[in-house]
Structure 1
């Protein structure tokens, strides 16, 4: 027995629809919330799928090197929209809560399809939003699976269930939006005020977190997991050299960068790399977790290294390997589009200083319009191949 608002309620009463009765609920309200949430989910799906294809490109996929900040925008939008889904999803579930207790549970094949799609949609939506929130908050240990894979397949489940749900409910949504209903229940706020409150909550969450991508808003983004200028050399770090197990290898005076081509191989010391033509670019690090920050990078153009082993940068791809002995992203592939871009560097310096160890000393890849996980740190080997 639990006492709520002066009444003694049994546990089953706490989850009954009567305990959450509200005059504000209506098919029109549910439809309006559903449209907002559907748009948000569509944005998340498109931007999330883009990120997945960049990281795991199929043969047909092409991603440009310019504009340099395009991935910064798409992934920042992905995470910001996902966070804004929190109040939208909460309000949507509140609006349909009594429907969970409808009896009989199944009235027809169409009704069964509707309820199955709702169950799949609710489960997938909660999985995506809660999992994404844990990931951007860096609570990695709370996820008993590799987040990227789970998030990817969860997105397809959510979108599939959403499309089925739309197909089933479209006539109801159309009718409810065309029909006027009383805007205010007795003694409470109006539906318009409720929608405004939900929208304001989404706006506050966005403002309180988007500063990790939009640097001028950083001072007001009090809930942002990262600050774009906090970290060594004024840039955040996800994985340290100690965490990656490369500290000794990276600091070894005998370090050599091995550069291989089909017909030639070079072994370059850090001093030899520094003696090559150096170039400086301003490029962002854009993390899949939504944060991004710009830095001034200096180093050797990857295209120049391709030429040194006898390849045209526009006709070569490259595998860039880290000194790390393991990890899903210890090797990244660089397509010809990026190799021939003069802004793609094997960076030796950051913001006017030699690379900090945690930013990839002695050498790291930095290229325009790529996720941070593909900007390989502690580079030990580069293998160029003629692009087919």
Structure 2
């Protein structure tokens, strides 16, 4: 048995050392939207925080109105890119693990900035567009972080990491004052925010307690490790994982007309390339050396047959894809309509039962029920 060396003893001590976990701390302490000379009272502050959330949000296909206190369902819907985290193993195909480039550079790349409130579309680009989610005002409020994102038991770690990654993406997007002006023009930042306050906010985000630099990228959600994501690669990942009939990450074609236009352009480009090759072969057959070459003669014959059948086969594939997509969408629409009608019928029965129990024989209640049933198409 080899005797223990001092390095072995030190290694064993480090392995057995129990270091208590460091509780999460606020990434910043200054509210960048408030002037120092105009603090809000607790009542006004709570009301102002509630007004910073959307008027409604979706869970599945249903609309929900947030109550006075922001629910964690709403916060998760706003901050957590669930679809991207479900494909996290394949995100390296769609983007690099580097921060996004500044807004002015996005314009240099020929990308128009489009506002999207969907967190999963944040920094997704394609077709000369890049989608960016505006900064919600509550994310610049340290009180919101303390009440809703920090938890000693770690139950809200994922939401905090999503919020941290989202803010750090903006730290990278708004680097220069020109980026700040672009963000204000596009409505990406609150109008109360000034350039000087933004610079102070960024300094506080990147430096802990004004001195020691934090390694913040190690404490962000996995999606935000990757910066800009290619839309066509995300669509390809969805098609490979969910099948050719999936709608993709974001529909590239909004109608069958646009689908035909895109497919026709590809077929026309392929046909033009085939014609170029046929012209070259025709010139080759006019020469003495290639005219007597059996291999070239066989290749010319095969490619001539392919040039006839290839475009025809491509057109048939496009037509078949159109028919399959049309039937698939019709079946899905009818299935969803039946499911939705059954759900609405159940809700209307519940309303009718409650009205009959609460006020039997009430004409106004019966009228309300009839109107609701008629509006729902039941």
TM-score category of the 2 structures, normalised to the smaller one:
under 0.3
Query: TM-score, normalization: structure 2?
Result: 0.25
- Greater fraction of residues in strand: 1
- Greater fraction of residues in helix: 2
Query: TM-score, normalization: structure 1?
Result: 0.25
